[in-house]
Amino acid sequence: MSSEFVPLNDPPPPDKAGAPEEGPPPVARAVPPRVPPRRGVPGPVWVLLGCLLLGGCALFGMVAAIGGSGLGMARAGALIEETVQGKGDAKVVLVELEGMIARVQGGGLFGGGVDLVDRLRRELEAAADDKDVKALVLSIDSPGGTVTASDQIWKHVKRFREKTGRPVVIHMGALCASGGYYIAVAGDEIVCEPTTITGSIGVVLSTLNFHDLLEKYGIRDVTITSGPNKDLLNPTGPLREEHLRILKQMVDETHARFTRLVHEGRGRTGLTLEEVQALADGRIFTADQALAQKLVDHIGYRQDALDRAASLAGVAGADVRLVRYARPPTLADLLSASARLPGAAGGGEPRLDPALLDDLATPRLMVLWRGGR
């Protein structure tokens, strides 16, 4: 038996005869790591930065324009008079009340909310101080709101009448119910539109109680109070007859005040207190029903309310100018987009906001129509 000697440094023999010889084995070489190419800022980022830059320039330009026009330098609390229609010297002021009646309306991420009661007070005082103002039209489009805010506005309207002796005509929009009607009875006369919903003379105090639901899942309320009535309307505690009696008395007393104010405002039409009490069960009325029940004086539109105010002021037929007031916008207003800029169309303030929802989350006496609730 023979064997063939193959040197270690020689390549192995070919597998088949005539096969080409293989070259030397490959030599491993170090390959440098690949460096990814440098990239610039993506296009969308530049677009976003450009938009932010342009928006900032526009905002500062608006602020500068307001300051240059004199609005930015207006004293705190100053109001700007706008002409709605007409060119005469005699003025009728239009004051607008829209949305929920509560202390704060509007607002946003940067603030800018408006105290509704304070806004109306300032507008009424501005009208009272202007000798050219002969009458006032208060336009209401509201389902109502808190008792306190409604009562405060009622007081300011009544004070304007007593201080100036000038007529106040109420114009009712699509809805003037509960707290809206509470305020309306402070006027000399009421003009409602043919499709107005009004009435809802009543008071409501509501909350939710989760005691039975929590008890079902073994969750107990632990509340330590200084007295047995301190936790009135505790949503996690059991309902108690004594608590309900106390709260019902509060509602009844507030309701009695509401009906007295309606009789005080509408008694001149021959409406008796007993008749008001019969109507004050929370029901709503159409325009024709309200007129038949002496809750309003006329059915018409805003122009009819303006004409009636001018007639009561003794300037009927004259060239009467209808004006309204606007407040200078602040930087917070511009950032939150909650201000009605002078000359802008529309009523002005937003109708609902987080601050108002927070207020309504706390149980409180309301003069509010909530569509069946």
Active site residues: 178, 230
Residue 34 DSSP SS3: coil
8 A C-beta contact, residue 333 and residue 112: yes
Q: Which residues of 313-347 are buried (b: 16+ CB within 10 A; e: fewer)?
A: bebeeeebbbbbbbbbbbebbbebebbbebeeeee
Q: Which residues contact 346 (CB under 8 A, 6 or more apart)?
A: 340
What the block records as the tokens of 199 is: 């009435």
Left (φ > 0), alpha (ψ -120 to 50) or beta: where does 269 sit?
alpha
Q: How far apart are CA 90 and CA 159, in angstroms?
A: 22
| Residue that the structure tokens 């039209």 belong to | 137
Neighbouring-strand partners of residue 176: 142, 198
